[in-house]
Amino acid sequence: MFGALAGTAWARGWHGYGAESAWIWIEQVIQNCIYAWLLVETGRCHLSLKKRLALGLTEPLVVNRVLLWFVYAVLIISVQIFVAVSVFIAKEGGEYPAVIDVGMVVLSSCRPVPPSPFGWHSFRPKPTSVG
């Protein structure tokens, strides 16, 4: 991924994305593959844990934490798809239509923020009963 980022910087500079650059597509494919893998693995793991929960082999807290990771993966992949679509419809020179430009600025400046509470919450310590 670092190679794709460096290639994008070398070919286009850090100023905007242009669909004509192959480096931006290499970067997008690598990032989307990573997040798609996260989505598939957390979904598969959650389904497996639900079966184990029905048999009494795991705790509900573990199942819910993996579900939070799945929600995180869904949200982050949706942001990545928006970025890829924005790059695809970018005009020559990496300029976007005004409507997409606003969304691109917001999502690219705080890309991990909307899904992050789901990821953070999955690491909270297990609640203990005071007694």
The C-alpha atoms of residue 131 and residue 115 are separated, in whole angstroms, by 35
In terms of C-beta density within 10 A (0-12 exposed, 13-18 middle, 19 or more buried), how is residue 14 classed? exposed
C-beta separation of 12 from 24 below 8 A = yes
**pLDDT for 24:** 74
The answer to pTM > 0.85 is no
The C-alpha atoms of residue 66 and residue 126 are separated, in whole angstroms, by 14
Q: Which residues make Cβ contacts (< 8 Å) with residue 58, sequence separation at least 6?
A: 49, 52
**pLDDT for 13:** 52
pLDDT above 70 (res 122): no
**pLDDT for 110:** 55
- Give domain limits for the chain: 2-121
pLDDT above 70 (res 35): yes
- Tens-digit pLDDT profile for residues 39-98: 999 999 999 999 999 999 999 989 998 998 898 888 888 888 877 887 777 765 666 666
The C-alpha atoms of residue 105 and residue 112 are separated, in whole angstroms, by 13
**pLDDT for 54:** 96
pLDDT above 60 (res 17): no
Instruction: Please give the residue that has the higher pLDDT: either 37 or 114.
Output: 37
The stretches of the chain forming alpha helices (DSSP H) are 2-12, 22-54, 60-88, 98-109, 116-121
